[in-house]
Amino acid sequence: MSRADIHPTPPSELPEGWRLEGRRALVTGGTRGIGRAIVEQLLGFGCRVFLVARNQSELDERVGEWQARGYPVDGFAADLGREADRRRLVDWLAGQVEALEILVNNAGSNLRKPFLDYRLEEYEALMRLNLTAAFRLCQLTFPLLKNAGSASVVNIASVAGLTHLPTGAPYAISKAGLIQLTRNLAVEWAEHGIRVNCIAPWYIRTPLTEGVLSQPEYRSRVLARTPLGRIGRPEEVAGLAVFLCLPIAGYISGQTIAVDGGFLCKGM
């Protein structure tokens, strides 16, 4: 399946409750992997998408590709691990729209080490990008989300936030925090018509995982723990992210859903 084939059905022909045309979405980490797939599927459903990435040239290239296909998309270069950049982003966004129906907190990174080998600055950098950025973007975009009347926040966590994996303690801590943030906000923001959900992927073929998955022994261990017997695709995470934003999913909030090929339920 090519990227152009992901959405063969025009948004206007989708059944009631399965449409997002005219909705406005902010996606962080939107130029690669899961984030890129989410942007593409939201565009396919008729959303106007604003995406964020650190690399200006890569951002310009992706936005140019989508705009050339006629999609309503704009990009903003920012390091979301920095508060000044987070504020600049939301100020820019508020200058574009008065309301925001969708926020996808996808930006994240990892540094795999044994627990005792982490330096404090490495731990703090991972927490700033993986957890604090989502925490602050939720705070800063709240007026726009509230103005929408009905909005959806989707946080991209990991099964590392639910069980032990050899991915490193700081990464796991940040993802567990994102899962709990989801629960708290789902309760606090329900009165404003804002739903908050979380996705916890297992190994998905992205630039963040290609290094470890290129090691035959490690890849074999991953596949042995995965009942479906394969590595996931970014589009399979993106499909769930988009579904959680649809009106038909309007009674789903506070949930963390694993996209893991059955990994969490396998046990011994």
Instruction: Report the alpha-carbon distance of residue 182 to residue 152 in Å, rounded.
Output: 11
Angle between the N-to-C axes of helices 120-127 and 169-188, in degrees from 0 to 180, rounded to the nearest 10? 30
At 135, phi and psi to the nearest 5? -55, -50
Active site residue 171: yes
Start-to-end CA distance of the chain, whole Å, equals 35
The first and second tokens of residue 48, run together, are: 């106007």
Q: Which of 71, 123, 171, 203 is catalytic?
A: 171
Q: Beta partners for 53?
A: 77
Which residues face 25 on adjacent strands?
49, 102
**For 248, how many CA atoms within 13 A lie in the half-sphere containing its CB?**
11
* Residues with catalytic function: 171
